[in-house]
Structure 1
């Protein structure tokens, strides 16, 4: 199970194309990451030799999205590339189905494995920064991977998720205080070094809703919330200028308002005319760009690739996860799941991934696994 999830996690580590300590060609890194999907499928079949799967509406919707993507991609303007991406998405979903017997376990095995994979990536980023700080901060002073070309936005994603889940697990007395302090301090430093505003916003909003779900039932949560608010207000007052400089990243007010040029691309997408069929079903899975410019939005990218049908499927599985979380019993499983769902929704505004195999879909899978009932026959 651990090896299968690790291979699936490595599959979504999209190489950034940045410089690394070893001169790895982009073709090699892409082939290695994409080839790990086959390894993940083999390991999942070995871990689940009886092909036992658990019914789940969340994965059923992901499967419908993969089927729709494959059907549209076969008739795309670039059928080979689009069909290849659609087949990879289908294989990704099949692998997720094979791992459903581990959903709902009381030992939170999938969450633990997911966090372990994220720790491994962050450890490689920190090691690379210690060995070659110039290469690690080559992307406009933002921390990225040098042992493996991990972009700063992904580094921020993993650090924010680890920080949020560590804080929630500590508040629910699942991990010790020493473990939580070490995790929060390390991941907070890494998050700040990436200069990624989306990850910070997702962390704050996700933690606010997760803490609210625990507020009435856990005294530690109430104390931690009051302390966090006090420290936050004091820090915002004392370091207002430094916080403003960090948030602006040297950009003008106009650039910040346009989300670093993203809104220009989104406007161009909305103003472009497309046939009715393409408007409804999209033009097949793509590299998430429009006229050569990155889309950088999960919703706009899904609209381009799968049309309004894909957007409807995306909205549906997010709503299902929210309903599952809101109706689940109060506790760490519900709080962590709420944090992951909210974080992915916030990040989807300026990051792609909800309509394709990505770390965000893996986060949502972990959230879904925390909200289902325990497998029959387990304690």
Structure 2
């Protein structure tokens, strides 16, 4: 030990200096890894409106560079590299293997292999985060909610600075970081839902929860994203029912919610109908804004046996230049019947695991996320690629993990 170190040891830390414990430093790095994963799935859309525009290549480098940076960072905190056995991650690894096999015979080989490599690295980082799945403080859930608050806050900031430009076509988008209305609605709905569930479980103070909900819900409504709103309602009801017998605040919340819904249905029914219609006629609403035409074309497409089983390789989830906007048909197009089977197995595993998890916050949050993802999967894609939906389903899987925590991780 050097003379300076010995003197500092005897004298103690400097006045006003707060020493950070090694465990806290590890926790912060884990939180940063999760934030980088979220940044990676926030696709940069060049040409979108921004408060501070910068070249598209820079935005793509920021988003895509977040993944290798997350991998390097998680290796510094998980050293030597340790992973927990997990059926969910094993299924995700099978999906990666199948995606690579499909991409090797893709017409667009380079782009398909790039997306497969990205999915592979994404799942590797998720593997390396498994030692932190069973923390009693729900570190990953809290981190995800904090990141969502930052995203929603950036959307609100952009709206306050440029209220007109932030609502092209009447739907709210992100202006600080270009976020399309559907993704903006997803982040707002997930932030509101996690806040409500954590408050119902007694893990979040009322004032903080109220401030979060009163910010996120208006953002969701301004995006006019019907899928996110319905998924939020379904997920909140499912999570609330899992806590119904355990907490009086949940029963009061349901009673107030039923009252508000009844009064709203009688007094604001036409307003709700107008919001849901989004200026579309009956035919457009029935066709889900043209989605059903794309879905019918995918189902009617001629395929070989290989393409039926393995698909055409990972794509940008579009068909003939039109977005597929369905997780199940998008997965079927990219990875075939096997890919769909793996996605179904992942969702079922999380749902069954949550169902048999003891009553409490972990079960409630897991049920909310899996219910949200199931509802959203009909008109949104993402479970078969590196996306917010895959990340959040992994978050739910971490909550139903029943193995005792490893020593030194908690």
Q: Could you tell me the TM-score, scaled by structure 1's length?
A: 0.98
The CA distance in 1 between the partners of 2:406 and 2:99, in whole Å, is: 34
> Which one of 76, 79, 100 corresponds to residue 130 of structure 2?
100
Alpha-carbon distance in structure 2 between the residues aligned to 1:145 and 1:315 = 32
> Distance between the aligned counterparts of 1:293 and 1:246, measured in 2?
25
Question: Deviation of residue 271 (structure 1)?
Answer: 0.8
Distance in 1, Cα, partners of 2:217 & 2:106:
43
Q: Secondary structure at the match of 1:133?
A: coil
Partner of 2:98: 68
> Equivalents in 2 of 1:26, 1:20: separation in Å?
11
Distance in 1 between the 2:184 and 2:35 partners?
17
SS of 2:170 mapped into structure 1: coil
Q: Distance in 2 between matches of 1:25 and 1:273?
A: 40
From 369, 387, 395, give the equivalent of 1:358: 387
Q: Distance in 2 between matches of 1:356 and 1:334?
A: 25
Contact 1:299–1:349 (8 Å) recurs in 2: yes
Tell me the number of residue pairs that the alignment of Structure 1 and Structure 2 aligns.
378
Q: Distance in 1 between matches of 2:85 and 2:142?
A: 22
1:25 deviates by: 3.1
1:83 matched to which residue of 2?
A: 113
Task: Report the equivalent of 2:192.
Answer: 163
The answer to whether residue 32 in structure 2 is matched with residue 8 in structure 1 is no
- Which 4+ stretches in 1 moved above 2 angstroms? 22-28, 376-379
Unaligned ranges ≥5, structure 1:
none
Question: Conserved in 1, the CA contact under 8 Å of 2:200 and 2:250?
Answer: yes
Alignment equivalent of 2:296, drawn from 267, 292, 301: 267
The answer on whether the counterparts of 1:15 and 1:151 sit within 8 Å (CA) in structure 2 is no
Among 127, 130, 137, the residue aligned to 2:160: 130
C-alpha separation in 2, matches of 1:128 and 1:168: 27
Q: Is 1:183 aligned to 2:194, yes or no? A: no
**CA distance in structure 1 between the aligned counterparts of 2:198 and 2:394, rounded to whole angstroms:** 18
Give RMSD over aligned pairs.
Answer: 1.1
Corresponding residue number in structure 2 for 1:376: 406
Deviations 1:324-364 (A, max 9, x none): 00000001110111000010111111111011000011111
Q: Distance in 1 between matches of 2:236 and 2:36?
A: 29
Equivalent of residue 42 in structure 1, options 72, 85, 99: 72
Q: Secondary structure at the match of 1:202?
A: helix
- Does residue 202 (structure 1) correspond to residue 234 (structure 2)? The answer is no
1:247 aligns with 2:276: yes
1:335 to 354, 364, 368: 364
Q: Is the 1:195–1:246 contact (alpha carbons within 8 Å) kept by the matching residues of 2?
A: yes
Shift of 1:31: 2.5
Partners of 2:347 and 2:376 in 1: how far apart? 13
Separation in 2 of the partners of 1:43 and 1:134?
40
Aligned mate of 2:243, from 194, 211, 214: 214
Residue number among 219, 243, 260 corresponding to 1:231 in the alignment: 260
How many angstroms apart in 2 are the aligned matches of 1:362 and 1:335? 18
Structure 2 equivalent of residue 290 of structure 1: 319
* 1:29-75 per-position Cα deviation (integer Å, ceiling 9, x unaligned): 22221111111111111111210111110011001101111122122
Q: 1:346 is matched with which residue?
A: 375
Given that 2:131 and 2:406 are in contact with CA atoms closer than 8 Å, whether structure 1 keeps it comes out as no
Look up the SS of the partner of 1:136 in the other structure: coil
Shift of residue 230 of structure 1?
Answer: 0.6
Is the contact made by 2:40 and 2:63 (CA closer than 8 Å) also made in structure 1? yes
Cα distance in structure 2, aligned partners of 1:25 and 1:348: 32
For the residues of structure 1 that align with 2:32 and 2:73, how far apart are their CA atoms? 7
Q: Answer with 141-150 or 12-21: which moved more.
A: 12-21
Structure 2 residue aligned with 1:32:
62
TM-score (normalizing by structure 2): 0.90
CA contact (8 A) 1:210 1:339 kept: yes
